[in-house]
Structure 1
């Protein structure tokens, strides 16, 4: 099967020296990493569940809420703009400082090392919803029971599978960059910083251990759990339900109620119809904060050669091109 647009599928030639690993575990997950992954999934999730009665009984301070929101959207946009639209699909070019900043911001989301994330996602696009896709919800079939099992697999289960994606094959461009390789290998450091910043700020602002503790609960644990499940929902929910106005070779759909929390990623049907597009929410009323920020980067001169979708480009990908209407589509080059 040939690669989808926007998917890099270069394999180092035999005569070339092998590239150094960009993650501490390489292409396989050892037992220690599996245990760490389990902890990073379950502990924040328990905190997320505990947050409901805590809000009802004692509320949440404006400082804790501010830390949660700020850290959430820094990490979310680091994933959507950096890891996804820039590093995976090359939706725009970035000057070196922005390139490094996006790699660090995405790492603060605690979703895994940069190179592994990108390699997995490029493989996903190459085999989307077909054999070889790391996390398709249709893996076990189309019956209700098979889909329920598949949704669990696409949401969480696939991460505990023995790693199959070759980083050398799917992300050689990132491995060749010493700075990006170093950021990817320093994932543990960025995780500590991500979890440690909220309690540090909360403790200093309130000058109390209680302030640090509540900031850690809301700004670290609850924030990470919420961001994780929103991101994983793109893999599971957005490949099982949603409207599909655009032609794609998979079952990607648009799920409107995830748009704000996912920073525009849940307009997933257009993304799979046009993977290199810098804007995913291209129709009227489809909020896409990631595209808006990319536009700001472009105006500031930090990003260039941005692949904005034109009206003609969008209409060509519609399911029924005979009914395409220009007034229903935002020209993202001007609207972003």
Structure 2
């Protein structure tokens, strides 16, 4: 699931390129060709990416210092949980299951609200996010996949390097995914274009909200700053790494009870289910990408599917693609 880089009814372009001749699923991916010369725009991209990736992580160190001094307030944790849930569901229900894969159709206010909530996760503008994820599905774990952990082969050193690449390294490659090819439906949607343009402002908002709430609740700048730290930066860092873990760990560790396309190694990884709002049932998702539910077996928690069900009952989403028993059985390995 990406960073920086009307619901769609397509998972990806209908004619993804086949793997290069001779690609066996274990060898390193062929080189991409000579790297483009680094101009001012390239340097700016890397700098901004580094700030977005590193700053929340640095906040974790500050949290350790604050905990050592017992400077943490209950309101900070409540705010962090609330914003984590809102922005996380914006990504999983809005960006992913709705806009990327067309698992349901939402009324206009809900579609916009989910796109705004997902944008406040600091994972990039909505159109770039969707385009990158559709490209991932078109070329899963083969040349063309922007964040496959198998990019450097399946030997131990390649796997370790690939794990780092899939988790965060790919963000620094500036391997742009053309939105006109992978997300033309969103480019044609005036509302979604407006949300995408507002991404920088929404990044400011996602930090200003906890700061302002902390000030109102505690009445001091200390409360405002600790709320910004916990409910702003630490919350963003946690959601980042959970999202990136679906890219990395959920293609290397876990179970594969369902059949996927050749070379696709997506797995189900239960420890991440709750934190990822059900996204870590990744094997089923790759076996049936348009399904609105990813956790289809007994005991598989899928909060995102529960939210979609609630929205359906309220009449705010429709044409939901719930998995039938026959459809699930047909995809069993």
Bin of the TM-score, shorter chain as denominator length: 0.7 to 0.9
Q: Counterpart of 1:261?
A: 275
Q: Counterpart of 1:228?
A: 240
Q: Counterpart of 1:315?
A: 329
* Offset of residue 244 of structure 1: 0.5
Q: Counterpart of 1:295?
A: 309
CA distance, structure 1, for counterparts of residue 145 and residue 239 of structure 2: 22
Question: What is the aligned-residue RMSD (CA, Å)?
Answer: 1.8
* Offset of residue 54 of structure 1: 3.3
CA distance, structure 1, for counterparts of residue 314 and residue 15 of structure 2: 32
* Offset of residue 185 of structure 1: 1.5
| 2:157 equivalent among 110, 127, 145 | 145
CA distance, structure 1, for counterparts of residue 201 and residue 15 of structure 2: 29
CA distance, structure 1, for counterparts of residue 41 and residue 299 of structure 2: 42
1:82 and 2:94 equivalent?
Answer: yes
* Offset of residue 129 of structure 1: 0.3
| 2:289 equivalent among 269, 275, 296 | 275
Check conservation: 2:46, 2:174, Cα contact below 8 A: no
CA distance, structure 2, for counterparts of residue 68 and residue 299 of structure 1: 28
CA distance, structure 1, for counterparts of residue 71 and residue 327 of structure 2: 48
* Offset of residue 179 of structure 1: 1.5
Check conservation: 2:10, 2:102, Cα contact below 8 A: no
Q: How does 1:135-284 map to 2 (within 5 A)?
A: 135-249=147-261, 250-284=264-298
CA distance, structure 2, for counterparts of residue 73 and residue 195 of structure 1: 15
CA distance, structure 2, for counterparts of residue 144 and residue 60 of structure 1: 42
TM-score, with length taken from structure 1: 0.86
* Offset of residue 53 of structure 1: 5.0
Q: Counterpart of 1:7?
A: 12
Q: Counterpart of 1:40?
A: 52
| Residues paired across the two proteins, number | 300
| 2:110 equivalent among 95, 98, 101 | 98
SS of the equivalent of 1:30 reads helix
Check conservation: 2:13, 2:182, Cα contact below 8 A: yes
CA distance, structure 1, for counterparts of residue 162 and residue 214 of structure 2: 40
Check conservation: 1:9, 1:169, Cα contact below 8 A: no
* Offset of residue 57 of structure 1: 4.5
CA distance, structure 2, for counterparts of residue 41 and residue 162 of structure 1: 14
Check conservation: 2:256, 2:283, Cα contact below 8 A: yes
Greater mean deviation of Cα atoms: 292-301 or 156-165:
156-165
Check conservation: 1:270, 1:280, Cα contact below 8 A: yes
TM-score, with length taken from structure 2: 0.87
* Offset of residue 33 of structure 1: 2.6
Greater mean deviation of Cα atoms: 161-170 or 73-82:
161-170
CA distance, structure 1, for counterparts of residue 299 and residue 209 of structure 2: 35
